[in-house]
Amino acid sequence: MSPVGKSHGLAAMRVAEMRRKALGGHTMAEVGVATAIGVRAPDVAWCSGGYLAAHPEEMPLSSAPELCVEIVEHDVGAALGNL
């Protein structure tokens, strides 16, 4: 996986901050999640305390957190102003 650009990273962290403020719980970045097609890493994942307790130090996670977000770059710089 290649490193992401600054705009992508800023957008991901802004989404993470918004989810944590709105929902409480916990946010994670680029956490590995086992899927039927291999390990994937969403840009941002949100989970409840219950999910976190049920998956202590799993790597990769055996199931996806309650909310996974992938930042799709078309014009992330312009999108940052809309978040």
State both tokens at 32. Answer: 């590995």
Instruction: Quote the pLDDT of residue 62.
Output: 93
User: In a 10 Å sphere around its CB, with 0-12 CB exposed, 13-18 middle and 19+ buried, how is residue 53 labelled?
Assistant: exposed
pLDDT confidence of residue 2: 74
* pLDDT at residue 7, rounded to an integer: 87
pLDDT at 4: 78
Structure confidence at residue 54 (pLDDT): 94
User: Where do the DSSP E strands lie in 1-83?
Assistant: 26-29, 33-35, 38-40, 44-47, 67-69
Specify the pLDDT at position 33. 96
Report whether 34 contacts 60 (CB < 8 A): yes
pLDDT at residue number 60: 95
What stretches in the chain show pLDDT beneath 50? none
